Structure 1
């Protein structure tokens, strides 16, 4: 069974789908971080140097968004964005 097949099968279960959907903000943020880092042509080590930290800290930051064990602080996300030559923008979006 491929990963896609397993995911599709798992998401047919209501509880799994609810939990998966609840993680969408984290997945969305991670996609944005990775896309921006890739566009800048920087590695995790490059970002770490620009932020004044070590590469494993960046690995933990990026993986924390997928494992739900830790939410990075706004200050950390701001430093990450600044290392990419970006700024952090946070907004509230009204539910439909």
Structure 2
């Protein structure tokens, strides 16, 4: 099911599905919310990006040295490093590169 929102309340992140129901609860100790894709979220903790699915299961890990978070949309998220934009899927596999 698609993710429509993530609400930050206290020390918890509540993942809200497209029906407006809570589909997962993730401790904010897992990282800071960076962005929301169609069916995943991106968190940053220390020097690592983590992706989680709509049920709160971790699905990918990527070093933050790969770039600064730019955005998440649809099935991918973008990081910017220097004059390049790198696109990754929800499993943190690089799918594209383009000039910034």
Query: Higher RCO, 1 or 2 (CA under 8 Å, sep at least 6)?
Result: 1
Larger Rg: 1
- Which structure is higher in helix share? 1
Task: State TM-score, norm by structure 2.
Answer: 0.25
Task: State TM-score, norm by structure 1.
Answer: 0.26
- Which structure is higher in strand share? 2
